[in-house]
Amino acid sequence: MAANVSLASFKPVAWAGHDANLTLRGIPEGNFTLLLDGQNVSPSSESRENGTVTVTFPVGDAKDSVAFKTLKVQLGGQDAYSVNVTVWPEQTPVQLPEQPVWLEMFEDGQDGWNATNWKFDTLWGIVRDHGTNGKQRFSRASGVIAAAVGAGSHSLATPAIDLQEGEYELRFASHYNTSDPQGQDAHVSVTYDGKSPERLFALNETAEAAQHRVPFKAAAGAKLVFTFAFEGKGDNAYWLIDDVAVVKPQGKLEGEPTEVIDIISDIQGLPQNDQMRDSLLPGLRKYGNASTLVINGDLVPYDAPDTWANFTKALKDAGTWEHYGEKNVISTLGNHEMYYAMPESPGHIDNFLNGTRMTELHGEQGRGLWGEHVTEKGTPIIWMATEQYTFLDHTGQPPFVNMSDAQYGYLAGRLSHWKQEGKPVLLFSHFALPYSVSGTWTTFDSTSFGHEETRLRYLLAANPHALLITSHTHWDIAALDQNVDHRPLVGYNSTITTFNTGATLNYIGVGSKDFEGDTLGDGAPTGLRAEIYGDRIRVNAYRFWNLSTDGTLIQTRDVPIAAANGSTSKDHSADKNGKDGKEGSGARPAATWGVAATLAAVLASAWSLL
């Protein structure tokens, strides 16, 4: 094959019967041929930009499970490039937890709304036209959003919504920053059957990447109109919103959990080993016994015999295996396990598997690098990992994730199994998706998945019964996007609830640079506890200030358990924007990052190393 042809974007993936995209670098001008599993396939479209060519092509069928088809690109009758195409069977998505009674995601812009001085565009379109000033940190933004920017009066009213009598919540993603010295005002009001508006909610301080949940009552047969009103006094004032929903919330939590699972991450050596041993682990246990401990990556600062020995000793001295049971301690691979002090040190993944005993205890699949553990109470825990990363080639920078079809197919199969069983899954990845949880808008944390990003989005879109628990960002768990309802944006109106663990090492927050954070402090490790109930999973986020064993509860989030074999409406936003294509799928092509030139450059240079 021609060595100068390389993948310039995401690995191709699509739903059966739809089209996939492939972007290559190094294809000369002229004709080329596509062969999918040996059969000629005609591109639906072809475009060239900045030395790359993007083709859109039909992927054909997939039966009952994910299929991997070989696509060959031929030049002059000779194979120039080959890549596997991931094809998902058409899904009957699971019933969304707390199914919205009414939902607007703005993928059709203003359609149906009464808007005055609001704009409808992608986040990056808004940033392109109006600058950053914190807008780039709206991690909950997905697809098209609504934006009120600048001085003047801005009003955005929903269509009339028919509701049955009962108690509801108005939920919406919101990004509001009060840094403009001239001031601003934002509030939400409701009108019942055309009567005088009643103010429901007001924003009085900065609240970035938040989801607001505003309770209200509806009378039988009432028609409601919600109005988002913004008054900007200066040109830098703004309010961004997305994903507006009316939801009938879950009832009050009753009873005790059937089991509890402890989650920590990002220890990274001395003195954090001591903090884990003396503060974090005993502090979590003060809240009661847990059946399982998941250590979600970055156990050591780098791969070396002494770092593994120190980490293992700290776990042992904390009584970890006696408390949880050795089979119930699960470790996932982060990036630091693939760093090393000496270039001669080989076998980083092997050292991780041996140091954590994952092959010995959980080696049924992927040698324990990826796999599944079902707790004694029946909670499925599934974890993923990168399978290849060369420190010298990447110098510690992203992208980090390279995933084989064997691992991807395993994850898809096990998640599908538990979806049919109606069981929620705790799904672990050390790395977080870009523009999901806190910190994932930064340059470093937004490119971790590289070529794999869109494939992961399809995996999540098909399986909203999974809770995705991530780490890596070290972000302050008090951030309003520590947990989010993330929309994969690949063709189905599904969301997946995503959490971030924070870190044992330190905590990071918003800094002075557009696409970086600043370290705010250390000596205050964090951990999550997932409490499993019959109708929900409650996730508590704790911080242990001053290395105490007395924790502070920072955040609590209840996630309703999705019903088995339900259905939701198809969201054809992907089809509108190019048949599972770039903008519609949420798989950002480099061109859409034009306002963040540094991030685009990092993405391009990182991919060039793969």
CATH for 532: 3.60.21.10
Contacts of 88 (CB under 8 A, 6+ apart): 13, 14, 15, 16, 62, 66, 412, 458, 462
Tokens of 59: 């992927």
Question: pLDDT averaged over consecutive 10-residue blocks of the chain (610 residues)?
Answer: 81 96 92 94 93 96 94 93 96 69 93 97 97 96 96 97 95 94 93 94 96 96 96 94 95 94 98 97 97 98 94 97 96 94 69 96 96 97 94 84 97 95 96 96 95 96 94 98 92 84 96 93 97 96 97 97 49 31 30 32 38
Tokens of 418: 């538990």
Quick one: DSSP state of residue 607? H
Whether residue 232 is found in the same domain as residue 265? no
Domain-embedded: residue 113:
yes
Whether residue 119 is found in the same domain as residue 84? no
Nearest to 197 by CA among 222, 239, 227: 227
d(CA 266, CA 528): 13
Question: Measured in Å, how far apart are the chain's first and last C-alpha atoms?
Answer: 16
State the virtual CA torsion across 374, 372, 586, 8 in degrees, nearest 10. Answer: 180
Whether residue 177 is found in the same domain as residue 271? no
Residue 347 vs residues 352, 362, 387: alpha-carbon distances, Å: 9, 19, 12
Tokens of 260: 């509890």
d(CA 97, CA 380): 18
Q: Which of 217, 247, 277 is the last residue of a domain?
A: 247
d(CA 54, CA 77): 20
Residue 22: alpha-carbon gap to chain centroid: 23
* Local structure of 320: helix, strand or coil: helix
Q: Which of 188, 222, 247 is the last residue of a domain?
A: 247
Tokens of 338: 């693939």
Tokens of 546: 């001053």
Whether residue 81 is found in the same domain as residue 112? no
DSSP codes joined into one string, 143-172: SEEEEEESSEEEEEEPPPEEE-SEEEEEEE
Contact 267, 440 (CB under 8 A): no
Task: Please name every residue paired with 292 in a beta bridge, in sequence order, or none if there are none.
Answer: 261
d(CA 389, CA 368): 17
Whether residue 400 is found in the same domain as residue 310? yes
State the virtual CA torsion across 337, 485, 365, 414 in degrees, nearest 10. Answer: 180
d(CA 196, CA 188): 13
Task: Please name every residue paired with 239 in a beta bridge, in sequence order, or none if there are none.
Answer: 148, 176
Read off the CATH number of the domain in which 26 is found: 2.60.40.10
The answer to whether the peptide bond before residue 12 is cis (omega within 30 degrees of 0) is no
Q: Which residue has the tokens 């149906």?
A: 112
Quick one: DSSP state of residue 252? -
Residues recorded for the chain: 610
Residue 591: predicted pLDDT: 27
Domain-embedded: residue 579:
no
Domain-embedded: residue 592:
no
Domain carrying residue 192? 100-247
Rg, C-alpha atoms of the chain: 24
Domain-embedded: residue 332:
yes
Exposed/middle/buried for residue 26 (C-beta within 10 Å: 0-12, 13-18, 19+):
middle
Query: Would residue 166 be called left, alpha or beta, if left means φ above 0 and alpha means ψ between -120 and 50 degrees?
Result: left
Domain-embedded: residue 474:
yes
Read off the CATH number of the domain in which 186 is found: 2.60.120.260
Residue 588 vs residues 84, 270, 370: alpha-carbon distances, Å: 20, 38, 27
Helix (H) or strand (E) holding 366: none
Whether residue 235 is found in the same domain as residue 325? no
Whether residue 29 is found in the same domain as residue 136? no
Whether residue 81 is found in the same domain as residue 107? no
Residue 390: predicted pLDDT: 80
Domain-embedded: residue 437:
yes
Whether residue 138 is found in the same domain as residue 242? yes
Phi first, then psi, for residue 284 (nearest 5°) are -60, -40
Task: Please name every residue paired with 161 in a beta bridge, in sequence order, or none if there are none.
Answer: 224
In this prediction the pTM is 0.92
Whether residue 500 is found in the same domain as residue 410? yes
Contact 507, 526 (CB under 8 A): yes
Sign of the dihedral through C-alpha 389, 391, 392, 395: positive
Exposure of 96 in the CB half-sphere (CA atoms within 13 A): 24
d(CA 60, CA 19): 8
d(CA 390, CA 348): 10
Domain-embedded: residue 287:
yes
Nearest to 362 by CA among 395, 338, 333: 333
Count structural domains, the chain.
3
Nearest to 383 by CA among 290, 276, 285, 466: 466
Whether residue 391 is found in the same domain as residue 468? yes
d(CA 131, CA 152): 18
Domain-embedded: residue 498:
yes
Q: Where are the alpha helices (DSSP H) in 433-572?
A: 453-461
Q: Which of 227, 247, 267 is the last residue of a domain?
A: 247
Whether residue 298 is found in the same domain as residue 417? yes
Contacts of 147 (CB under 8 A, 6+ apart): 118, 119, 120, 121, 126, 130, 238, 239, 240, 241
Residue 182: predicted pLDDT: 86
Residue 492: predicted pLDDT: 66
Helix (H) or strand (E) holding 448: none
Amino acid of residue 518: D
Sign of the dihedral through C-alpha 93, 96, 101, 107: negative
Tokens of 301: 């600062």
Contacts of 390 (CB under 8 A, 6+ apart): none
Exposed/middle/buried for residue 252 (C-beta within 10 Å: 0-12, 13-18, 19+):
exposed
Residue 479: predicted pLDDT: 97
Contact 27, 5 (CB under 8 A): yes
Tokens of 572: 């054809």
Exposed/middle/buried for residue 572 (C-beta within 10 Å: 0-12, 13-18, 19+):
middle
Helix (H) or strand (E) holding 351: helix 348-356
